[in-house]
Amino acid sequence: MADRPALPPGAASGIGSLPGTDVVEATRIVLGELPDLPHLPELPARGPGADIIGRSAALLAEFPVELYTARWQTCDRPGRDLRRALDFLDRDLDTLTEQADGYAGVLKVQSAGPWTLAASVQRPLGGAILRDPGAVRDLTASLTEGLREHVADLARRIPGATVILQLDEPSLSAVLAGAVPTESGLARYRPVEATVVAERLRGLIGALPVPVVVHSCAPDVPVALLAETGAAGVALDMSLLDLDKAETLDPLGEALDGGFWLFAGSDARDPGTAARELWRRLGLTPAKLPQQVVVTPSCGLARRTPVEARRALDACREAGRRLREDPEG
């Protein structure tokens, strides 16, 4: 498990996706609007292979996938679908390498996590990888190896950067609750035990040389479970938190009191307001707020217009500045 570096106080970042298909412009926007904690932009509007599943599947080591009836599934050998996904990723990395030349600071990259991939990638004989514990184990091992190479490549490209990884797990809550639909949509896969979920995540996170933040825009993010896996922090939609529930506040409070990072997602006019309110409710030291909280939009921005996306990132940057200058509000 990698040590948690110090975050830039009052930093802002994006979740990952942006609108449009111009990676050069997207990278310029990220570096310009989020100078303290930029990220590798994702542009799913480019089509299959630029989507979260295809893009992340391109990172898998010796675990080829292909598109079949608009779904990603495993296959025997790499084909044109995987080559397209790899081409998108290589182009994005080349652009970031050029645009961020000389950058020295924290830099974030994103990938779908093993449980979201297991719930989304199908097997040729039918059914998601999720239904086969052995296949999930192989998938996790493949993703771990691929991510090790991915972050090492980024470190070589931008040697002044301190890389952190955001593991996108939008399906995690559904996996735990037995709410992932089968291919037909008429049934649900059985729930996976929390101990098994944690074991797979712990193995992956512990094998990576960079800190990992686990992101989910779903309700009921299992913060206590994530804190036990060695994750450095959690990224969530603050509007989905029920601050009147002890089941919500207690795990967050314990994790944050221990130094956990919070990537606080909000689409409010002042995106930092929810983080301040949470801090007050938990009775945490105000001075630690800008050191542990990164302000982000509530989720990816791919469905926004370019103007709306830039405005959202600008609001996050300004909110982070206010948290840094006046953490008590």
**Average pLDDT for 149-156:** 96
Indicate whether 254 pLDDT > 80. yes
Question: Residue 301: which residues within 8 A CB-CB, separation 6 or more?
Answer: 14, 15, 17, 18, 19, 308, 309, 312, 313
Six token digits for residue 66: 């292909």
3-state SS track over 164-186: EEEEECCCHHHHHHCCCECCCCC
The DSSP code sequence of 246-297 is HHHHHHHHHHHHTT-EEEEE--SSSTTHHHHHHHHHHT--GGGHHHHEEEE-
* C-alpha dist (Å) from residue 137 to 78, 140, 142, 197: 21, 5, 9, 11
| Confidence (pLDDT) at 198 | 97
Of 57-71, 107-121, 141-155, the one with minimum mean pLDDT is: 57-71
Domain ranges in the chain are: 23-241
The mean predicted confidence, pLDDT, of the chain is: 94
Six token digits for residue 274: 């929810």
- pTM for the predicted model, two decimal places: 0.95
CATH class of 23-241: alpha beta
| Confidence (pLDDT) at 184 | 80
**Average pLDDT for 294-306:** 96
CA dihedral 43, 48, 53, 54 (to 10 degrees): -100
Pairing of strands 71-74, 106-112: unpaired
Indicate whether 1 pLDDT > 70. no
- Rounded to whole angstroms, the Cα distance separating 326 from 318 reads 12
How do residues 78-125 score in pLDDT, each as one tens digit? 999 999 999 999 999 999 999 999 999 999 999 999 999 999 999 988
The DSSP code sequence of 191-215 is PPPHHHHHHHHHHHHHH-SS-EEEE
